[in-house]
A and B are shown apart, each in its own frame.
Chain A
Amino acid sequence: MKHKDYSYLYANWDDEVRRRKVTLSNPVFIKGLALAPIVVAGTSLANGILLCIAVFFLLTPTRIITSLITRRMSVPFKTFFYPFVSAIVFAVVYYYMYQYLGARVLLLGVYLPILVIDPLIVKNFEKTRKESVLYSFINGMRNTMGFAVACLLVCVIRELLAFGTVGGIQIMGYGLLPMAQYSFGGFLIVALVAGAWSAVVKDYRYRVEVEAMHDERHP
């Protein structure tokens, strides 16, 4: 990366953080959203893909519809509308998921419907400013991407450690850490990955700062 880019990044760091939902402000690893489904239900790659599909069809539409409805509402009314809309959207999504994917959807148990009130979907009600449809769409897609990356990463690690497989394909002879299939193992793995992720982001921020300062001194 060029020094000019670093200085630009340093000057607009907050905007960049808001924009880069996959890396700099990952909804799972940095903000700690949607932990319950990932920790409990995200035990295999198949479960992870199901969760990603559900979030893809739930997050952005909920956000767009709610932003259209609640454009001139105060926060208390928004608080009511967000879960209401997400529940209606979820009913439709769940119906079609069950039609196309069958009983596999039931593997996730209560952790699929729980997405309706997950902060990942409904946290936006706190914002007081109005959102355009385009902004809602773009931001919703960024959040979905961030969630998908985190969810799939954790699911792959857990499946590999617990059963020695990835997506059902045998990689290792035995599971290196069988407790990865349980919830407490999931918490541990999410914590470790989130810690490493935060450390990398912190290091990146430090590097940007140093390079930008260097650029200022030697234009």
Chain B
Amino acid sequence: MTSLQRKKHDKSMLWAIFALVLCGSVLHGARVWLLCLIAVVTAKAVDVLVSMIRRCDYDSTDHSSEVAALIFTLMLPVNIPIYIIVVSVGLAIAVGKHMFGGKDVYPFNLAALTMCCAAVNWPGQVFSAVTPFAKVDLLSGYTTQATLSNASLIKDGGVPPYGVVDMLMGNYPGVMGADFVIVIVAIGIIMILRRKITWHIPVTFLVTCSAIAFAFPRVYGFSRLESVQFEMLNGSVFFVALFMLADPVTTPKTPKAKIVFGFITAVLGMVFRYVGSFDIGTCFALLLVNTMDGYIERMVGGKKIKVKQIEDAEEKTEDKKSSQRRIYTADKTETPKPHRERIRGASDAMDLISETEDNIDNVIYSTRTISIDEILKAEAEQKKKRGGKK
């Protein structure tokens, strides 16, 4: 994926997240906006600061940090203290993004990394849930209506006492934006139809999760289909499938590899949910599978084939172009230089310039002044002579 495509993807993600923030603010109040704002400002500030420390140019069009911060924030309850968001986002952007090379090359999903960081540090606050329309203090986040999340309830052997419609609409004690299943599905369909994301990873992930929930039901006393319903509509499964697994930087590029990636993430995610300590097993699974990203791509073989196809196609087009040029320039005395020779010429020129730059100090400190053009000409002549002798 090119940088331009990634930027377009980030913009479409921001619009999608905006819709969820809007839904969240209806159910949980103005604090949703405040927390999202703080997350975005922190992400931006840390991005700029670390770029300055690294002495590399900051790309203002890169929104990956903001997207990750917003995705992370929407997975938290509305009563979360502000410092948790600031510390988690700051740490994830500084360590997870910049320590691994910065934009377009970071290996781990930033939102998942931020979520795992927060979950490990403050599990009590991160895994609580707040009743819709509850009174929450704007700054401190204090509320009397915080309860256990549905995912924790299922883990402890309980059953969420809410109807299917309420669970689809997110109308139950939960997090800020990851529980609106209907809205998330609608956004996913729109994004797939508009080709902002591909279907491979989200669909494979959801189908595999459903199959595992059907085969190994956790909720006893209910049918297998009801177990699938409880598993899929709780624990932000749809949200993770659409917003985290569709990140173009940390996921494979070929369709086959994407399907394998989605499958492994789903299996590991469900295993972590069933036997792990945290509700958000999928985030840990995603981080684990991120390390296997390149291996999956090589194992499936899609990338090699694609690269080979591209190389073949490039060779063909180059042959065509060169033959066309030969025909076009048949009457001319000079034949056009092949592409590689042109590159070699350019690299020679670059070498010459760098050598000259090295000698600039001598020019400055010598008593007589020599123009750089003269040096360049002299160097070029010398190189020509050397080439002639050889």
Contacts and interface: CB of A to CB of B under 8 A. Distances in A.
B87 A177 contact: yes
Contacts of B83: 176
B105 to A, nearest CB: 18
A188 interface: yes
A177 B117 CA distance: 9
A217 to B, nearest CB: 7
Interface in B151-207: none
Contacts of B95: 188, 192
A97 interface: no
B122 A217 contact: no
B328 interface: no
B291 interface: no
B291 to A, nearest CB: 15
Contacts of A176: 83, 87
Interface string B113-156: 00001001110000000000000000000000000000000000
B94 to A, nearest CB: 8
A214 to B, nearest CB: 11
B117 A179 contact: yes
A178 interface: yes
Interface string B87-104: 100010001000100000
Interface in A158-196: 176-179, 182, 188, 191-192, 195
A150 B121 CA distance: 25
Nearest to A162: B121
Chain A interface mostly: helix
B220 interface: no
A177 B365 contact: no
Contacts of B87: 176-177
Nearest to B86: A176
Contacts of A191: 99
Interface string A125-169: 000000000000000000000000000000000000000000000
B112 to A, nearest CB: 16
A32 B122 CA distance: 30
Contacts of B117: 179
A64 to B, nearest CB: 40
Contacts of B120: 179, 182
Contacts of A188: 95
A49 to B, nearest CB: 26
Contacts of B121: 177-179
Contacts of A217: 365
B365 A178 contact: no
Nearest to B120: A179
A190 to B, nearest CB: 13
A178 B88 CA distance: 11
A8 B87 CA distance: 45
A177 B120 CA distance: 10
Interface in A72-94: none
A179 B118 CA distance: 9
Interface string B353-378: 00000000000010000000000000
B108 to A, nearest CB: 13
A178 B117 CA distance: 10
Contacts of A195: 99
Contacts of B91: 177
A101 to B, nearest CB: 32
Most B CB contacts (10 A, CB to CB) among A177, A178, A192, A217 go to A177
Contacts of A177: 87, 91, 121
Contacts of B122: 178
Contacts of B365: 217
A217 B121 CA distance: 55
A191 B87 CA distance: 18
Nearest to B365: A217
B343 to A, nearest CB: 33
Contacts of A192: 95
Interface in B256-302: none
Contacts of A179: 117, 120-121
A194 to B, nearest CB: 12
Nearest to B53: A199
A217 B365 CA distance: 9
A217 B366 CA distance: 11
Contacts of B99: 191, 195
Nearest to B122: A178
A203 B120 CA distance: 35
A195 B121 CA distance: 23
Interface in B212-266: none
A177 B88 CA distance: 9
A191 to B, nearest CB: 8
Nearest to B94: A192
Interface of B: 83, 87, 91, 95, 99, 117, 120-122, 365
Given A176-B83, A178-B122, 14 more contacts: A176-B87, A177-B87, A177-B91, A177-B121, A178-B121, A179-B117, A179-B120, A179-B121, A182-B120, A188-B95, A191-B99, A192-B95, A195-B99, A217-B365
16 contacts: A176-B83, A176-B87, A177-B87, A177-B91, A177-B121, A178-B121, A178-B122, A179-B117, A179-B120, A179-B121, A182-B120, A188-B95, A191-B99, A192-B95, A195-B99, A217-B365
